[in-house]
Every structure is written in C-alpha cells, then in structure tokens.
Amino acid sequence: MSRGPGRRAVLRGGVGVLLGAAVVGPLSACGGPGAASGDDRRVAIASGYGLSYAPLTIIQAQGWLEEDLPDRTVEWRILSGGSASRDGLLGGSLELGTSGQAPFVQAWASGVPWRVVTALNNMPLWMVALDERIQSLDDITDSDRISTPQPGSIQAMALAKAAQDRYGDPDRFTGNLVAMPHPDALQALLSGQIAAAVTAPPSQYQAVEQGARILVDSYEAFGGPHGFNVVTALEEYAEANPDVIEALYANVARANELITGDPSRAAGILAEAEDGDITAEQYEDYLTREGTEFTTTPQGLERLSAFMNEIGEIDRTPGGWTDLVFDTVAGEEGN
C-alpha cells in the first residue's frame, strides 16, 4: 500500500508553501519582517516559537544587545522554521537566523554559506498523540496527519529515525506529515484535527498535561541528548561584522547562565515577556525539566548529518562538526 509521496517530493513541494507563510510577525515595533532595510547598521534577528528560544527572549526583554551594540539598530522577528531564516539571510532581510539543526544541515549541504554562531540548548522532542486509538506508531494509518514545524525539520528526522529503527523504512510516515508552527499544532491536536504532533517544549508538555501520550522521544531515537535550535549567520556577514557575532554569542551564554543558575528569575522574565500566557511557575518547571540543557555548545551535529546522509536527505557530510560552526563555539566540546 502506498504511503504517499517520498521524502524528497515532500521537501520539494512543501518548503515553498511553508516559506510563503513563514514570517509570522515582528517581536518588536522596529520595522516589518521580510523587507531588507538597506541599513548596514541594522541587526535583524530571527526568533521562533517555544521554550528553545528562551535565551533570545531574555536577551530581547533585557535589552542586552542594544547595550553591547549601541551603534546598531536591533530588530527581532518571529519566523517559523529554519528555511525561513535561510531565505531571510540570503535575501537580506535578516542578519542572524535561527534554525533547527536538521534544516541547518540540509541548507549547508546544498551550498548555503552559513555556519552556527551558537547553539541555544539541548532538548528532547516528542511525538505525542491524544486519540485513544493511537497507542504506538503501529496504530498510525495512511490517513492520519502528523504535524512537524516544516519538512526536513529535526522533528521530522526524529520520526524518520524511529521509523527506520522500528520498520526499516525512514519514509514510512513521510506522507502523513503536515507543516504547522508549534502553537497551531497543539491546538490542532487538542481539537482532533491531527492524529499526532512532533513538536517541542512547552507545547509537548502542555499536550501531555491534557492527556496525550508520548510515541517517540528524540533522545531515544538518536541514542542520546542532541541540540535543538542554533543561531546562524552567513560567512560573509560574520567576517564583516565580528562585533555582532561576538555580542550575540556572549549574550546567549549570559542568558543560558541565568536560566541555569537562577531559573526562577529567568522564568519571571519569560512570563512577563509572554504577557502571562504561561505563568512564571510553569516556565520554571519547563526550564528545569529532565533532559533540557541550555548551552552554547552544539551537540549531535555529526550524528544527525550522518543519518541524513544515510537516508538521502543530504548528499555530503562535514569532515567534523567544527566545519559547521564559527570560532565562537569551535573550541567547545561539541560533536
């Protein structure tokens, strides 16, 4: 029985549709997304949905970058998916992008001249289902829809790895995938519009709190902890603007130290920035969950690249993880 289009067909057909709606809106009033300003003193930075972006939310809320770069105009924008950051960097509407590790590796392998400025964290990513009919991957039918943030996302790669290990077929569920930002995926799951979601904290935690069960844990699929999102820049921009690159890295490290050393204070900053949609108490719980580590060090890039190459997602791999990063993190104990 056919399970729908293969991985490459989904990637080719899905990315363009996703990018058309990827720019969701600005995080601040400093300019609109998607149009290059022509100002070489501007620093437009992509952020995104979910707990993974907590360091960037703290940096923005505290105004740290503006303090360290007083001669620059800092702009913050919410994008959905690493492909949107890729297009923003290449098109000139962004100076610093964010991406899940898998879209970053995929674009690098296709020739995009970007590297990692800093990681943001390690986080387990879960595939969750609420329907009592679905107790395991075996219960997913051809007609069941499964959300991921975008085609080729690290969530999609985690599901592909789980499918390869269980069925010997990484494409088993590729035809089931639909692209949704995390908040939309959570609502679609809770309302029964989709059968399962491969999402991220805090959406996955909120789904479990509503009775969903975990079908796939990315740490189990990949054999251990791995990075989630990274901050990226084009090589040409980094070479011309080392002050911006160093300031961004230093402030992510500062935010991560705050989250790790004083999660209560960090949670309060995040709750205020979100206008109370998630309470400070909830944020502190989410920030300190087992398996979550806020770190600048990229983890799992070599392992992920090897898997993506094995299943035909990319046609070349780095000689080592340091081929994918700037000097900001090259001296750290990544992999």
Judgement on whether residues 253 and 310 belong to the same structural domain of the protein:
yes
pLDDT-derived band at 31 (thresholds 50, 70, 90) equals very low
Judgement on whether residues 242 and 105 belong to the same structural domain of the protein:
yes
DSSP annotation of 325 reads: B
Judgement on whether residues 241 and 309 belong to the same structural domain of the protein:
yes
How far, CA to CA in Å, does 195 sit from each of 134, 144, 150, 180, 256? 8, 6, 17, 13, 34
**CA dist., res. 191 & res. 69, Å (int):** 45
Judgement on whether residues 161 and 96 belong to the same structural domain of the protein:
no
**CA dist., res. 68 & res. 123, Å (int):** 29
Judgement on whether residues 214 and 296 belong to the same structural domain of the protein:
no
Residue 202 preceded by cis peptide, ω within 30:
yes
Judgement on whether residues 175 and 318 belong to the same structural domain of the protein:
no
CATH number of the domain that residue 93 is part of? 3.40.190.10
Domain boundary among 169, 204, 221: 221
Evaluate whether residue 6 is within a structural domain: no
pLDDT at site 49: 77
Tokens matching residue 300: 């799992």
Strand ranges in the chain using DSSP code E only, listed in sequence order: 23-26, 42-47, 73-79, 97-100, 114-119, 126-129, 146-148, 177-179, 196-198, 213-217, 229-234
Residues 6+ apart with CB under 8 A from 334: 119, 297, 298, 299, 301, 321, 322, 325
Residues 6+ apart with CB under 8 A from 175: 2, 3, 4, 5, 10, 142
Judgement on whether residues 210 and 239 belong to the same structural domain of the protein:
no
Work out the average pLDDT over 20-42.
Answer: 45
Asked if 99 contacts 68 with a C-beta cutoff of 8 angstroms, the reply is: no
Domain tally for the chain? 2
Tokens matching residue 133: 């009919």
Mean of all residue pLDDT scores within the chain: 87
Most confident of the following: 7-16, 121-130, 176-185: 121-130
Domain boundary among 180, 205, 221: 221
Residue 257 has pLDDT above 60, yes or no: yes
Query: Global pTM?
Result: 0.83
pLDDT at site 39: 65
Judgement on whether residues 177 and 96 belong to the same structural domain of the protein:
no
**CA dist., res. 251 & res. 58, Å (int):** 9
Residue 17 has pLDDT above 70, yes or no: no
Residue 236 structural domain: 15-123+226-330
The CA R_g of the chain, rounded to the nearest whole Å, is 19
